[in-house]
Amino acid sequence: MVIISLDLQSESPIYIQLRNKIIEGIASKQLRPGDPLPSVRTFAQDLGVNMHTVNKAYQLLKQDGFIQIHRQKGVVINPDGMPSVDGNYLANVRENLRPVISESVCRGMNKEELMKLIQEVYEEIQKGGEHDDLH
Amino acid sequence: MVIISLDLQSESPIYIQLRNKIIEGIASKQLRPGDPLPSVRTFAQDLGVNMHTVNKAYQLLKQDGFIQIHRQKGVVINPDGMPSVDGNYLANVRENLRPVISESVCRGMNKEELMKLIQEVYEEIQKGGEHDDLH
DNA sequence: TTATCTGTTATATTAATTATAGAACAGTTA
DNA sequence: TAACTGTTCTATAATTAATATAACAGATAA
């Protein structure tokens, strides 16, 4: 299993953090299509949070096609592959990036510095999966 | 003045939207250092929101050094220049970018496509300031 | 069959956040 | 004096986030 640490003092809700951590796990290939995820109850206990908080994160991931939920097999990373980059997603991510990029422009970052930053984070994410498989 | 439109149905709070719009205005050079901003009361009336909501956005911008607030001159874009890219900000923006980039990786974007997207948004922001000055 | 696990749903409560409202204060400006 | 400025205080309503408890339906293992 992937070790997931939550920041209970963070401004972003626990169920959002959990959703993001799982997505980061997939991006870094620590989690691969078909891999099982813990049940809502055991995961909640492991993380020290409520069952419904985990369920909320699972519902988001299911809704976007990142996971499948079967009453029999439990929860798995979608074996049929990940959701694609459609127009809806693109418009969304643009809106999210706009204020972030705007602020870095205000603070004096030029295009090259911004690109370098993005590239660093990009490689940092991939690097996270270069350890021994933990699942 | 810069025309600002708020989405009252958005998931992100009004005062955050307003903060971001002003930052986007600075990034696109529609707002320049020294430019005045409306008083909390008149801005609130123009936007159709409460005075305290505008004040909250102003406090955030002041706290980060984007604006200055004088009891005499009112509110102005910081004439002494914008805040810089310090370690604190860098660590912060990295944390914000991490889940966004992770999801695009999951969805099959490669580094080049991601870079192109960033570049497009970057130029879209600059393009916003290429109209006649509205202030 | 019984017991135990699974996801799911429903209801309830608590705490925190968001947005609004009205009032007042201190200072500046016309 | 009158009208404006930012700021602060108190209060309220609505929404969101997190927890808690219970129950249901289905699958699984003893």
Average pLDDT, chain A: 94
C-alpha B11/C-alpha B17 separation (Å) is: 10
Kindly state the percentage of chain B with pLDDT values over 90. 87
Regions of chain A where pLDDT drops below 50: 133-135
Q: Check B83 against A101: CB less than 8 A apart.
A: no
Q: Residue B104: its pLDDT value, please? A: 98
Structure tokens at A132: 């021994």
Q: Residue A1: its pLDDT value, please? A: 62
**A71 strand C contact, CB < 7 Å:** yes
Alpha helices in chain B (DSSP H): 14-27, 40-47, 51-64, 87-106, 111-127
Chain A, residues 12-41, CB within 8 A of chain B, namely: 20, 23-24, 26-28
Instruction: Give ∠ CA B112-B116-B121 in degrees, rounded to 5.
Output: 150
Residue of B nearest to A99 (CA): B20
**B53 strand C contact, CB < 7 Å:** yes
Element (H, E) at B68: strand B67-70
Tell me which nucleotides of strand D come within 7 A of a protein CB: 4-10, 16-22, 25-28
Structure tokens at A75: 């929860």
Regions of chain B where pLDDT drops below 70: 1, 131-135
Which tens digits make up the pLDDT trace of A78-93? 999 999 999 999 999 9
Q: Could you state, in order of their start, the residue ranges of all structural domains in chain B?
A: 14-77, 87-127
Structure tokens at A48: 């020290």
Sheet of strand A36-37, all strands in order from the earlier edge strand to the far edge? A36-37, A74-77, A67-70
Which tens digits make up the pLDDT trace of B26-51? 999 999 999 999 999 999 999 999 99
Task: Estimate in Å the CA A76 to C1' C4 gap, whole number.
Answer: 21
C-alpha B49/C-alpha B41 separation (Å) is: 10
Protein fold of A14-77:
Arc Repressor Mutant, subunit A (1.10.10)
Alpha helices in chain A (DSSP H): 14-27, 40-47, 51-63, 87-106, 111-127
Average pLDDT, chain B: 93
Whether the ipTM is more than 0.95: the answer is no
C-alpha B71/C-alpha A47 separation (Å) is: 49
Across all strands, nucleotide nearest B44 (CA–C1'): C20
Q: Residue B134: its pLDDT value, please? A: 42
Q: Residue A80: its pLDDT value, please? A: 96
Q: Which amino acid does the sequence have at A59?
A: Q
**A52 strand C contact, CB < 7 Å:** yes
Partner B contacted by A102 (CB < 8 A): yes
Contacts of A111 in chain B (CB under 8 A): 119, 122
Which tens digits make up the pLDDT trace of A26-48? 999 999 999 999 999 999 999 99
